Structures are given as structure tokens and as C-alpha cells.
Amino acid sequence: MLLSPFLLSLVAPILTHLRNFLLFVLAAGPIPAHVAFVMDGNRRYARSHHKVIQQGHGEGFVALRGILEVCLRLGIRCVSAYAFSIENFKREKKEVDALMELAEEKLEELCKHGDLLDEYGVRLNVIGKRELLPESVQRAVDKAETMTRHNDHAILNLCMPYTSRDEIATAMQSAVHEAIRSSSENNCSPTLTEHDINSHLMISRAGSPPLDILVRTSGVKRLSDFMLWQVSFCF
């Protein structure tokens, strides 16, 4: 049953107060430090609601904002979101171009004075092979990171364009180079530990605490090359 605008105006404040009360109750218990989200299902949502794919991605961003605000109100220190896979560049050019335009637009929107990141003191990190992004999006990324660099209450990692295999391979290369350099300077055999690799991961270097929970919003049960190293330590 659809509610009239008048009834909606009466119900909305009640629902807001109820949500705030539930968040207050949840915040009284153990709170994870780092929660990651695979924000997928945008295309399936668009098709099932007879909308164009671009609208599905746009509404996916609205959902991300809502989830991020809930996490920040609960006091979660770090949120990571899988925004765009390196593999997504293989999709139709029209869809990729629309996603890049949306990313540029929303990055600028997120960093406006008084908007969500500014309100909650969130530092934004864009994690991945940024050189693959269009120049205009790279400029928006640099601007957004610079504008939020002073924020120190929470962290938002937008992983784009990202795959965990690329992150691990890049970390291995950096860790090996550092081990070789260190052994040369100290005249000893090079060694490589789990800690060395972990410290060179892009998400670790962004100042993120260890991952506690990974959520896939669509309910699909696969990791899709997201934070494979980090999630293996969650259990």
C-alpha cells in the first residue's frame, strides 16, 4: 500500500528517530575497526526495474552514501568499497565512459564543504591503478584526496580501478626490491616475511587497520578479486 505525502511526512520523523535509536544501541556493543563492501548488483537492479544501466550505477552510489553514513555514525574507523575493477574496463565503452563520468562527478560532490566526508572528518583514499583512469578523473581523485588529507577521524578507501591480484603482485615487487636493497646495505641475505608483504599492500599503506568484516551487498557468495589477502585473516 502506498502512503500519501501527508502520511509520509508524519511517518518519516518516526522512522528517523527509530533508526537513530537502533544505531545508538548497536554502537554500545563491539564495533569493528574496518568493514569492506563489494557494492555490486547495480546492473541487475537496473534491468529488473526497467532502467538504463547508468541509472543503476547512480543509485548504487546513493546506496553507498547511506551505508557509509551508518558506518560513520556507528564509529567504524575505516570503510573500504569496491567501486571499479580493473576487469570492468572490458565492458562496453558506453558503460565504462558513463561510470568514469559518474566517478568524477561524485568525487567532487563527496568533498564539498559540509558534505559527508567533511562532516564526519573522513580522509579519502583512492586505491588501485590510478594511471588507468581518464585524466579528468585522475585530477578529481587528486583534488578529493588533497581536500580530505587533514581529516583524521575516519578513512574511506574507494578501490578503483582495483583487483586484489594486482595489489598483491605490486606489494610483492616492492617488498622484494626493499629486501634486496636492505640486504645489500647490511651485507646479509635478503629475507621476505608475511609482514613485509602486508606492509606494502596499497590498502595497508593508506593507513587502514586490519579488515574485520567483508560484505557483498547483492548476496552473491564470491570475492571477485577483492581484498583476497586481507580477508584470509578475518576468520
The span from the first CA to the last CA of the chain, in angstroms, equals 43
Residue 55: domain span:
30-162+209-216
Q: Looking at the 3D structure of the chain, how many domains does it have?
A: 1
Per residue in 192-201, pLDDT (tens digit) is 899 999 999 9
**Is residue 52, in this structure, part of any structural domain at all?**
yes
The distance of Cα 104 from the centroid of its chain, to the nearest Å, equals 15
C-alpha cell at 84: 571499479
More confident site: 183 or 111 = 183
Indicate which CATH number applies to the domain containing 130: 3.40.1180.10
Q: Please check whether residue 24 lies inside any domain of the structure.
A: no
Residue at 193 is within a domain: no
With bands split at pLDDT 50, 70 and 90, how would you rate the model's confidence at 6?
Answer: very low
The answer to whether position 18 is within a domain reads: no
pLDDT range class, residue 19, cuts 50, 70, 90? low
pLDDT of residue 11: 47
Lowest mean pLDDT across 11-20, 162-171, 181-190, 197-206: 11-20
List residues with catalytic annotation: 40
pLDDT at position 166 over 60 = yes
CB atoms within 10 A of CB 87: 12
Alpha-carbon span 7 to 24, nearest angstrom: 26
In a domain, 13, yes or no: no
> 148 lies in a domain?
yes
Q: Which residue has the higher pLDDT, 233 or 168?
A: 168
Q: How many residues does the chain have?
A: 235
Q: Which of 143, 55, 68 is nearest to 102 (CA)?
A: 55
Residue 130 lies in a domain: yes
